[in-house]
């Protein structure tokens, strides 16, 4: 074991002789003993205080789950499933949770592991040479299966889809539908049989079943490769005490409210390149602007629906990007961890921020006093957010597929669904943590059960119908939008914030503001063609070059906006 020594101690190492003799005397007279005891306690404390781990036990069945879920969710579902499994099978089960990070990190990990697994299968079992065509083809959803072995990419695709190549993990549990759809299309997820085992639960024609989609958001895969486990929306968390100090009496309810001049450097935002879930927020901001623009156009013209929609998508895209820039100009930071935003807002590090609903509600409960009063509050942005599914899936080549299927069955059962929102101690609820998630099963949102729920007034199926998500409009640009937020707002944040400071109370229509919000270089058609295709290129240097070009462009643009604003102040002093 190695220790860190300050420089003042290291300097003395070169002076042996008398110093060594002095140390020897110190040890003999016992002056170093208290220091060594204290050091031992520091080392031992984490080991003594850590939470006891559930022993695997001889003969226990295994289940390996990769997940972004927090400790509370892992604890409650582990405990409840172990009891469920023991009752059902008479055997014990041990869950091995793999926690590489958020959904973005998990997707990267799965990509790498499946690539390594298939490479081993291709070269060792099939005895075929590995090359770039095979690498690019085996998980390319755009390729059809091909029997012709002279086409390495198609043959690799067919070989992968007919194999049990895996990554040593059974389930992927947690994350938005976007990532699950992509993984399913690549062939990493397989049918768990959950739809066949529960035909009435997954039925569009049933009032109590889970619809395949609602408000444009998919809730389960028609091929059974993934299903939504719970529901989530997005909104704004805010600190009422900090808002009062800033002179803001009305809490923010719409995304545009976060662009208020009084919130300058007081808005906590999330980095969409680090959090797949919160990347969805930026897409929803753009979608809302497209919907609003479509409504405006339909009221003022008699054009064909297709023509109106095309115009609304183009112009709504620009309005959405401009709104994102305005929010970023007020940012205190861009966090790479979704839970950090509501936590910082709760403790006054920021006045308000964007967050996933359950993070906002959970943190609000955490900081509440004994009377239930809390300084942190959360609002769903009604009309500005869809209600999406947080999902679960069986991975190809799962080492313990039957145990994995049993876990999926449990998560989708009434017993498993109660864990998401029932209060601790209620019948069928969690025992330690209030998870504050929303069940996906409709039959839990009924009066006999609502009194047991932590969020008994929330109805996600009602809220989901207020906002219409159009997948064709922005889903192909999901990765592109994450990239644009990075170059427009994160990598250029210093120049953007400086420009906003110079703008002061200037109106949005002023020349300086118009320069700040100029997004013509990344308009919809450019994003859909040049930028999207560059990001899909196998040569990552193309993305690096494009990022450098656009970051430099926006930095210069923000500097110019700052110059115009300062010049305007000189010409028109107050």
pLDDT tens figures, 135-166: 999 999 988 655 555 689 999 999 999 999 99
How many residues belong to the chain?
Answer: 574
Beta partners for residue 356, in sequence order: 234
**What residues have CB less than 8 Å from 457, skipping those under 6 apart?**
none
Same CATH fold assignment for domains 61-231+388-461 and 234-385+468-571 = yes
CA–CA dist 185, 170 (Å, integer): 18
Domain range 61-231+388-461, its CATH number among 3.40.50.2000, 3.40.190.10, 1.10.10.10, 3.40.50.150: 3.40.190.10
> 342: closest CA among 311, 375, 383?
375
Q: What is the 3-state secondary structure (H, E, C) of 77-126?
A: HHHHHHHHHHHHHCCCEEEEEECCCCHHHHHHHHHHHHHHHHHHHHHHHC
For the entire predicted model, the pTM comes to 0.81
Largest Cα–Cα distance of the chain, in whole Å?
Answer: 97
Strand pairing report for 388-395 and 352-356 = unpaired
| Antiparallel, parallel or unpaired: β 171-176 and 93-98 | unpaired
What 3-state class would DSSP assign to 218?
Answer: strand
pLDDT of the residue at 40: 53
Q: CA 448: distance to chain centroid?
A: 33
Beta bridge partners of 190: 394
pLDDT on residue 336: 83
Residue 61: name the closest of 32, 36, 29, 90 by CA. 90
SS3 142: coil
How many angstroms separate the CA atoms of 471 and 284, rounded? 11
Cα 61 from Cα 64, distance rounded (Å) = 10
Fold of 234-385+468-571: D-Maltodextrin-Binding Protein; domain 2 (3.40.190)
Computed over its alpha carbons, how large is the radius of gyration of the chain? 27
The pLDDT of residue 150: 62
Domain boundaries of the chain, sorted by first residue: 7-49, 61-231+388-461, 234-385+468-571
Rounded distance, CA 161 to CA 163, Å?
Answer: 6
The secondary structure of residue 53, as a DSSP letter, is P
> Distance between CA atoms of 196 and 252, rounded to whole angstroms?
45
DSSP secondary structure, 481-516, as one string: HHHHHIIIIITTHHHHHHHHHHHTT--TTSHHHHHH
Taking the CA atoms of residue 324, residue 328, residue 334 and residue 337 in that order, the dihedral angle to the nearest 10 degrees is: -30
> 233 Cβ partners below 8 Å, 6+ apart?
356, 357, 380, 385, 386, 387, 388, 460, 463
CA nearest neighbour of 95 among 164, 171, 165: 171
Distance CA 487, CA 481 (A): 10
pLDDT given for residue 39 in this prediction: 53
pLDDT tens for the 574 residues of the chain, in order: 333 333 333 333 334 344 444 434 444 444 454 444 455 544 444 444 344 444 455 579 999 999 999 999 999 999 999 999 999 999 999 999 999 988 889 999 999 999 999 999 999 999 999 999 999 999 999 886 555 556 899 999 999 999 999 999 999 999 889 899 999 999 999 999 999 999 999 987 667 789 999 999 999 999 999 999 999 999 999 999 999 999 999 999 999 999 999 999 999 999 998 877 788 899 999 999 999 999 999 998 888 888 999 999 999 999 999 999 999 999 999 998 888 999 999 999 999 999 999 999 999 988 998 888 899 999 988 788 899 999 999 999 999 999 999 999 999 999 999 999 999 999 999 999 999 999 999 999 998 999 999 999 999 998 888 889 999 999 999 999 999 999 999 999 999 999 999 999 999 999 999 999 999 999 999 999 999 999 988 788 999 999 999 999 999 999 999 999 999 875 565 5
Kindly tell me the sign of the dihedral angle through the C-alpha atoms of 327, 333, 339, 343. Answer: negative
What is the pLDDT at residue 315?
Answer: 97
Residue 32, pLDDT score = 52
Is 325 in contact with 339 (CB distance < 8 Å)? no
Cα–Cα distance for residue pair 364/251, rounded to 1 Å: 15
């Amino acid at each position: 074991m190695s220790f860190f020594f300050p420089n003042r101690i290291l300097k003395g190492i070169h002076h042996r002789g008398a110093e060594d003799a002095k140390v020897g005397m110190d040890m003999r007279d016992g002056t170093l003993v208290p220091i060594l005891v204290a050091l031992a306690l520091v080392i031992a404390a984490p080991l003594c205080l850590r939470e006891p781990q559930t022993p695997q036990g001889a003969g226990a069945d295994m289940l390996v789950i990769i997940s972004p879920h927090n400790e509370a969710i892992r604890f409650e579902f582990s405990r409840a499933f172990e009891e469920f499994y023991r009752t059902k099978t008479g055997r014990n089960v041990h869950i091995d949770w793999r926690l590489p990070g958020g959904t973005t990190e998990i997707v990267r990990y799965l990509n790498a592991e499946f690539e390594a697994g298939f490479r081993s299968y291709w070269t060792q079992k099939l005895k075929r040479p590995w090359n770039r065509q095979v690498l690019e083809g085996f998980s390319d959803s755009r390729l059809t299966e091909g029997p012709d072995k002279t086409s390495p990419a198609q043959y690799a695709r067919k070989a992968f889809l007919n194999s049990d190549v895996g990554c040593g993990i059974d389930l992927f549990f947690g994350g938005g539908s976007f990532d699950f759809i992509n993984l399913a299309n690549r062939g990493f997820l397989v049918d768990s049989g959950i739809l066949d085992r529960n035909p009435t639960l997954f039925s569009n024609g049933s009032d109590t079943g889970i619809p395949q989609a609602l408000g444009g958001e998919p809730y389960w895969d028609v091929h059974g490769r993934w299903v939504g486990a719970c529901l989530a929306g997005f909104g704004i968390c805010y600190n009422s005490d900090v808002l009062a100090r800033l002179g803001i009496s009305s809490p923010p309810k719409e995304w545009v409210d976060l662009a208020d001049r009084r919130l300058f450097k007081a808005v906590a935002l999330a980095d969409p390149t680090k959090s797949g879930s919160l990347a969805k927020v930026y897409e929803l901001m753009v979608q809302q602007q497209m919907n609003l623009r479509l409504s405006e156009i339909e009221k003022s013209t008699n054009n064909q629906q297709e023509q109106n929609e095309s115009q609304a998508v183009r112009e709504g895209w620009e309005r959405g990007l401009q709104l994102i820039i305005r929010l970023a100009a007020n940012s205190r930071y861009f966090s790479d961890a979704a839970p950090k935003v509501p936590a910082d807002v709760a403790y006054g590090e920021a006045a308000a921020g964007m967050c996933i609903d359950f993070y906002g509600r959970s943190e609000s409960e955490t900081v509440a006093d004994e009377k239930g009063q809390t300084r942190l509050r959360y609002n769903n942005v009604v009309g500005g957010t869809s209600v999406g599914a947080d999902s679960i899936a069986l991975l190809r080549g799962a080492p313990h597929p039957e145990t994995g299927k049993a876990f999926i069955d449990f998560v989708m059962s009434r017993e498993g669904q109660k864990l998401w929102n029932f209060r601790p101690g209620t019948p069928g609820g969690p025992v330690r943590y209030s998870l504050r998630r929303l069940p996906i099963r409709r039959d839990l949102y009924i009066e006999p059960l609502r009194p047991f729920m932590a969020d008994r007034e929330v109805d996600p199926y009602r809220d989901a119908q207020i906002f219409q998500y159009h997948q064709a409009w922005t889903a192909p640009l999901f990765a592109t939008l994450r990239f644009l937020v990075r170059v427009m707002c994160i990598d250029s944040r210093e120049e953007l914030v400086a420009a906003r400071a110079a703008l002061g109370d200037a109106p949005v229509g002023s020349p300086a503001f118009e320069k700040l919000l100029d997004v013509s270089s990344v308009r919809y058609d450019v994003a859909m063609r040049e930028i999207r295709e560059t990001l899909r290129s196998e040569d990552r240097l193309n993305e690096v070059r494009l990022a450098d070009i656009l970051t430099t462009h926006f930095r210069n643009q923000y500097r110019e906006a700052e110059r115009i604003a300062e010049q305007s102040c000189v010409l028109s002093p107050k």
